[in-house]
Structure 1
Amino acid sequence: METAKLGNRLLFVASVVLTGAVAGAFVWLLLFVMNAGITFLWNVLPAHFGPLFPLLACIVGGLVIGLYAKKFGPYPEDLNEVMAKVKKEGRYDYDKLGVMSVAALLPLFFGGSIGPEAGLTGAIAGICTWVGDRMKRFGADFKQLTSVGTMAALSAIFTAPLFGFAAPLVDEGGKDGDTITLPKSSKIVVYLCAIAGALGAFMLLGKLFGGGMSLPHFSAITVGTLELAWLLPLALVGAAGGWLYCVFDGLLAKASGKIGDRPVVKAVIAGAVLALCGIVLPFTMFAGEVQTEELGEVWTTMSALVLIATGLVKVFLTPLCIRFGWRGGHFFPVIFAGISIGYGMAMLTGADPVFCLCACTAALVGGVMRQPLMTVLLLFLCFPLKGVVVMLIAAAIGSAIPLPKAFRKTGHPTGKNETPEKIEGSETA
């Protein structure tokens, strides 16, 4: 009996590592396909269509996205919806994995100002549920593979193990949504095994074949008297960006609801607005990870006004895309928005650029997520450990700025972006 129990435990741990590896490999695969599609669409075709290519591409993209949503429904689901289902039901339906994957890729191909995390997490949760259903005869523990795989996927997507570990553990009943309830030590080991498998597979495939998705890491930061004097103003500027994101999100959700069940119309409108903004401010398009690296090379040649305007327009375009059918995540875009604003403020103040990026980005992301601790765990993917105090203070300021009552968010480990009542029109197949 004991031998059989030990065997099941070993099999479970092996399955957890394998589940993490599958999650990491699937994340890598979809990002590889995404990068290939973007390269073809935006590096090869523009030479044949001239400077107005973004307008053509985004309008056509809106038409394709809208028609796809009209036929198959509003996929992928928001990251928060996926995590809520996994937490409540312990599983996620996998009968439309192909539909979800294509729906996740389409807005990214056409330059949408969104991140890939929503579609990737839903697909991973579905795959892990499928595996768990087929292995549950070995014990009840195998039902946990869905939550384990979701955690591993988040770690791989953001290359941020602490964020992937903590996000599913946040106690939503806490006052500020930042209370992390640790599981038993045995489960911690299981989660860490899954994360190790995911990051190992993700990084190995990236090393062998390229691809992946990650923001540049800023390693050097100076914290002097000048920087400390500017900390509060920088945090307030970033917090204003986070406040605007939440307000734009609420207003655009209402506008989407007014238009109603017209997925094609909404997606084309979003595509046209996205393209026009992209023609004037090119860095406002796409998820933001590649654009962050490019911006780091050229920001000194740009004016502070253009840098700040780029961040603020990004703050508008991301909820526009999400609410008008270009469905995806908001993490990468809002991080890019904070970085762009931070560069602009560095130019205006003369303070250390990385310090400005830390303060502005943490305040902006904190204003969107409303959870300082989770904000800092996420931002470790691009900012140094030395900036942790700066990020904590700025994120706390950003999350403390009160929102208009109609646009207040509910606490969620990943920052839930929904107003209290359901205001967005439903889209059916």
Structure 2
Amino acid sequence: MALVTGALSGAFSAVMLGLIGGIGKQFWGETTEEGLIKSIPLLWSLTVCGGVGVILALVERGDDRNLLPELPETLEDLRDPDHAPQRHEFRSILAAALAQIGGAPVGPEALLTRLVTVASRAIWRGRDNTLSHAAIAGSMGLFEAPLLGGVVVNQHRVNLQSRWIPGTIGGLAGFAVFGGILELSGGSMARVPYIWPTTFREDLGSVSVGLLAGLVGSALGFGLRQWRSALQRRQLLKHWRWWPVLTGLLLGVLLHWVPMVGFAGEHQVIPLLDGANKDSVPLLLSVGALKLLMLGLCLETGWRGGIFFPGFILSCAFGGGLHELLPQLGSLSSWCAGITSGFFVLMLGRPLVVLVLSICLMQGHGTASGLIGVGVAVLISRRLDGGNDVPPPRPETHGSPECPEPQA
């Protein structure tokens, strides 16, 4: 059953992603989402992003229960459904889909896993939680990674029967189905050449890149954590429900000047690794910095989604810029892999998940640098978090067990 569940989950995720992506392309165009055009008409970007912001404000109403939970929160809800906070699923899923269509730099994985979770709950009604984990693992097929689903659902503890086996089988099935459906999409890196070190000097360069990239990625991950924490402390949506409108207008202005700042980024991967904008180091570094800032702002002001693809793209943007500054040191893919690994270790705090995710996102390119980047980031993370790899918990939300109702 885990095999069938994972396959159905992968197919369902592919259909939903294709539907949302198709609507988004009607608004923006394929070349815009790939970041291959220089600018978007200002009136159009302001109208679309501002209009979506108004709808988000009306749908979410500044209520935490109407906000889409991120992937770790969804997994926690599955592990302990009795203590899961109250959520308004329809509103949160609708808002997240609109954020994807509106060009926000947030990823689709949080939306897809929530859709799959809600569907599996409706089908199994809590009778078979292992199949819910298999469904989540199957939805991870959007990364074209056979084992990522199993690693993600098993990230907190080894439980062979209830998580690892159904998660891995479901992930394999979802990967097969999703990979077949998206075979002609922009997610394949078949055109990107593998560059292997052939001399001692090149080997030394690869190690140096891994160390430097791990440091840079860790700094970016720590920066995003601090940025989000600063926004969370201000509880923006609780004080003013119209924050999504302001964020949308700011996003519209940025899309006019730098289209690559927006969108999840799955269609921006190949142009970046093919060397698009390689002659403009300031542009690449600006894209990375602005995408990081907008990712944090969007997540904390109602434009909810995931961090996987936008985190990968901003890492590749910094990697591309640093490779152009230091062309004699390593390859573009080694810079991107090392920064990606360092970034996600600081954000997710799970080295095994990050290693598998980095290899899958880069499809094997720069693996040695990615491994070194993970090691560097783990050491930094332990120093920052006092020996604990896990990032600080998110603030308590309405209805969560950490936030009990006031006593009468």
TM over 0.5: yes
2:263 to 272, 286, 289: 286
CA contact (8 A) 1:219 1:383 kept: no
| Residues 310-339 of structure 1, C-alpha deviations (whole Å, 9 max, x = no match) | 112111111110100001111110111101
Pick closer, same or farther for the CA change 1:419–1:78 going to 2, 3 Å: closer
1:130 to 122, 133, 150: 122
Q: What CA distance in whole angstroms lies between the structure 1 residues aligned with 2:389 and 2:99?
A: 27
CA contact (8 A) 1:410 1:418 kept: no
Pick closer, same or farther for the CA change 1:262–1:51 going to 2, 3 Å: closer
Give the AA of the match of 2:334.
F
Matched residue, 1:204: 180
Pick closer, same or farther for the CA change 1:111–1:246 going to 2, 3 Å: same
Matched residue, 1:222: 196
Give the AA of the match of 1:343.
G
Q: Are 2:304 and 1:327 equivalent residues in the alignment?
A: yes
Q: Are 2:132 and 1:149 equivalent residues in the alignment?
A: no
Give the superposition deviation at 1:216.
Answer: 3.8
Q: What CA distance in whole angstroms lies between the structure 1 residues aligned with 2:209 and 2:165?
A: 42
Matched residue, 1:58: 49
Q: Are 2:346 and 1:361 equivalent residues in the alignment?
A: no
Give the AA of the match of 2:12.
F
Q: Are 2:113 and 1:121 equivalent residues in the alignment?
A: yes
Q: How many residues align?
A: 383
Pick closer, same or farther for the CA change 1:261–1:21 going to 2, 3 Å: farther
Matched residue, 2:154: 169
Q: Are 2:373 and 1:397 equivalent residues in the alignment?
A: no
Matched residue, 2:36: none
| Residues 97-130 of structure 1, C-alpha deviations (whole Å, 9 max, x = no match) | 6544422210000001100111211110121122
Matches within 5 A, 1:27-42: 27-42=13-28
**Is the partner of 2:66 in helix, strand or coil?**
coil
Give the AA of the match of 1:392.
L
Q: What CA distance in whole angstroms lies between the structure 1 residues aligned with 2:62 and 2:362?
A: 42
Matches within 5 A, 1:260-279: 260-263=238-241, 265-279=242-256
Matched residue, 1:77: 69
Q: What CA distance in whole angstroms lies between the structure 2 residues aligned with 1:99 and 1:283?
A: 28
| Residues 134-172 of structure 1, C-alpha deviations (whole Å, 9 max, x = no match) | 9x5xxxxx3422122112222x1322222210112123x
Matched residue, 1:10: none
CA contact (8 A) 1:409 1:418 kept: no
Give the AA of the match of 1:201.
V
Matched residue, 1:8: none
Matches within 5 A, 1:284-363: 284-350=261-327, 351=329, 352-363=331-342
How many percent identity over aligned positions?
Answer: 20
Pick closer, same or farther for the CA change 1:16–1:272 going to 2, 3 Å: same
Matched residue, 2:97: 105
Q: What CA distance in whole angstroms lies between the structure 1 residues aligned with 2:381 and 2:121?
A: 39
Pick closer, same or farther for the CA change 1:396–1:95 going to 2, 3 Å: closer
Q: What CA distance in whole angstroms lies between the structure 1 residues aligned with 2:308 and 2:79?
A: 21
Q: What CA distance in whole angstroms lies between the structure 2 residues aligned with 1:76 and 1:254?
A: 19
Q: What CA distance in whole angstroms lies between the structure 1 residues aligned with 2:196 and 2:10?
A: 35
Q: What CA distance in whole angstroms lies between the structure 2 residues aligned with 1:344 and 1:378?
A: 22
CA contact (8 A) 1:132 1:144 kept: no
Q: What CA distance in whole angstroms lies between the structure 2 residues aligned with 1:50 and 1:187?
A: 48
Q: What are structure 1's unaligned runs of at least 5 residues?
A: 1-14, 137-141, 172-179
**Is the partner of 2:26 in helix, strand or coil?**
helix
Pick closer, same or farther for the CA change 1:386–1:284 going to 2, 3 Å: closer
Q: Are 2:192 and 1:192 equivalent residues in the alignment?
A: no
CA contact (8 A) 1:92 1:146 kept: no
Give the AA of the match of 1:36.
G
Matched residue, 1:5: none
CA contact (8 A) 2:311 2:343 kept: yes
CA contact (8 A) 1:362 1:375 kept: yes
Pick closer, same or farther for the CA change 1:63–1:403 going to 2, 3 Å: farther
CA contact (8 A) 2:137 2:152 kept: yes
| Residues 188-236 of structure 1, C-alpha deviations (whole Å, 9 max, x = no match) | 54433322332233233335xx66x746465513341333334322322
Larger mean CA deviation between 380-389 and 59-68 belongs to: 380-389
Pick closer, same or farther for the CA change 1:368–1:191 going to 2, 3 Å: closer
Larger mean CA deviation between 233-242 and 117-126 belongs to: 233-242
Give the superposition deviation at 1:93.
Answer: 11
TM-score where L is the length of structure 1: 0.79
Give the superposition deviation at 1:272.
Answer: 1.8
Q: What CA distance in whole angstroms lies between the structure 2 residues aligned with 1:246 and 1:79?
A: 16
Matched residue, 1:244: 223
Q: What CA distance in whole angstroms lies between the structure 1 residues aligned with 2:313 and 2:41?
A: 27
Q: What CA distance in whole angstroms lies between the structure 2 residues aligned with 1:278 and 1:104?
A: 19
Pick closer, same or farther for the CA change 1:191–1:215 going to 2, 3 Å: same
CA contact (8 A) 2:320 2:336 kept: yes
Pick closer, same or farther for the CA change 1:143–1:239 going to 2, 3 Å: closer
TM-score where L is the length of structure 2: 0.82
